[in-house]
């Protein structure tokens, strides 16, 4: 048995499923834009530009919605995931520009002194993506709640068994 359901805003009349999907896509796109801004802020003090790619919010056959932001930047990957070992020996007084689970980037100090033939301790994973998700998810939830706050679901007349 198939049952059609209509969506309505209590104060604005009917809202079609296409309109509801559009508003959900807009909420997801807002989140994607915020995440992109966080990532730009995180890499703002780096010595090279980081190129970010992102898609337009997309719906799929089974109703899934997808957005993403990504980069092919190797340095971002090394810092985000960390490394087990490294060969770069840093200057005395070296201070990294980024730190564990911190979205903001700082000026940093020093740099690579020389390359060692033997490995030293690796780079601690920054895990900034988890931090961004933790910061942005409540904002995304608020966007979704605003979309759905005044929606009431009811079947069209004559479709109840």
How far apart CA 15 and CA 59 sit, in angstroms, is 18
Count of domains for the chain: 1
> Domain range for residue 70?
6-154
What does pLDDT average to over the chain? 82
Question: With 60 as the cut, is the pLDDT of residue 151 above it?
Answer: yes
Burial 57-67 (b: 16+ CB within 10 A, else e): beeeeeeeeeb
Note the pLDDT tens digit of each residue in 37-54: 999 999 999 989 999 998
If we measure between CA atoms, which residue out of 146, 145, 152, 148 comes closest to residue 13? 152
Domain assignment of residue 160, yes or no: no
pLDDT at residue number 5: 47
Domain assignment of residue 87, yes or no: yes
Domain assignment of residue 58, yes or no: yes
Question: With 50 as the cut, is the pLDDT of residue 99 above it?
Answer: yes
Span 111-132, average pLDDT: 90
Domain assignment of residue 161, yes or no: no
Domain assignment of residue 104, yes or no: yes
Domain assignment of residue 39, yes or no: yes
- Decide: 109 and 94 in contact? Cβ < 8 Å: yes
How is residue 157 written in tokens? 């007349």
How far apart CA 81 and CA 12 sit, in angstroms, is 48
Domain assignment of residue 159, yes or no: no
| pTM, to two decimals | 0.77
Task: Say which residue the tokens 């980037």 belong to.
Answer: 105
pLDDT at residue number 2: 41
């Amino acid at each position: 048995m198939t049952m059609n359901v209509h969506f309505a805003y209590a104060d604005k009349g009917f809202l079609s499923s296409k309109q509801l999907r559009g508003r959900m896509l807009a909420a997801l796109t807002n989140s994607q834009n915020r995440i992109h801004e966080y990532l730009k802020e995180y890499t703002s003090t780096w010595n090279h530009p980081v190129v970010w790619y992102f898609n337009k919010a997309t719906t799929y056959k089974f109703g899934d919605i997808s957005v993403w932001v990504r980069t092919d930047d190797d340095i971002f990957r090394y810092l985000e995931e960390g490394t087990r070992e490294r060969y770069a020996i840093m200057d005395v007084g070296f201070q990294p520009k980024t730190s564990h689970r911190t979205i903001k980037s700082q000026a940093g100090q020093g740099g690579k002194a020389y390359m060692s033939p033997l490995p030293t301790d690796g780079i601690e994973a920054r895990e900034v993506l988890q931090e961004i998700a933790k910061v942005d998810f409540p904002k995304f939830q608020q966007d979704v709640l605003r979309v759905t706050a005044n929606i009431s679901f009811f079947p069209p007349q004559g479709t109840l068994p």
